[in-house]
């Protein structure tokens, strides 16, 4: 079992990696189109793991091809990537949490 200081160090590293990126991603969030935000919100429902493209489309109430332009734009600006066929994922750990906070606006 990890000792307390090891866990604290892990959380400290996680904050150092995520929080500087928060401003960058907040700016991207603000510039995103409504369709892109819908896609990000639908992905955030899966947490920080990869999302099935079909599940994201279903949450958006679209066919998989119906959100392809938004998905392509998000990929082009580096917010998401395709780790394997039929899946999409955030490029930064903790992005789902950030989107959850931004979605409340």
Q: 53: which 2 tokens?
A: 């493209």
pTM: 0.74
Of 52, 35, 33, give the one whose Cα is nearest residue 43.
52
At 8 the pLDDT is 47
Mean pLDDT of the chain: 80
First to last CA, the chain: 40
At 103 the pLDDT is 61
Task: Classify domain 22-102 at the CATH class level.
Answer: mainly alpha
E strand segments, the chain: 51-52, 80-81, 87-90
More confident residue, 15 or 74: 74
3-state secondary structure of 23: helix
More confident residue, 28 or 46: 46
The pLDDT confidence band at residue 64, using thresholds 50, 70 and 90, is confident
Mean per-residue pLDDT for 61-76? Answer: 92
């Amino acid at each position: 079992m990890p000792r307390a200081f090891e866990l604290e160090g892990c959380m400290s590293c996680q904050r150092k990696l995520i929080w500087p990126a928060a401003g960058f991603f907040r700016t991207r969030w603000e510039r995103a189109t409504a369709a892109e935000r819908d896609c990000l919100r639908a992905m955030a429902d899966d947490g920080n793991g990869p999302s099935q493209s079909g599940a994201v489309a279903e949450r958006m109430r679209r066919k998989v091809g119906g959100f392809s332009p938004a998905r392509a734009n998000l990929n082009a600006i580096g917010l998401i990537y395709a780790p394997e066929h039929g899946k999409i994922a955030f490029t930064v750990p903790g992005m789902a949490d950030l989107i959850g906070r931004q979605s409340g606006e």
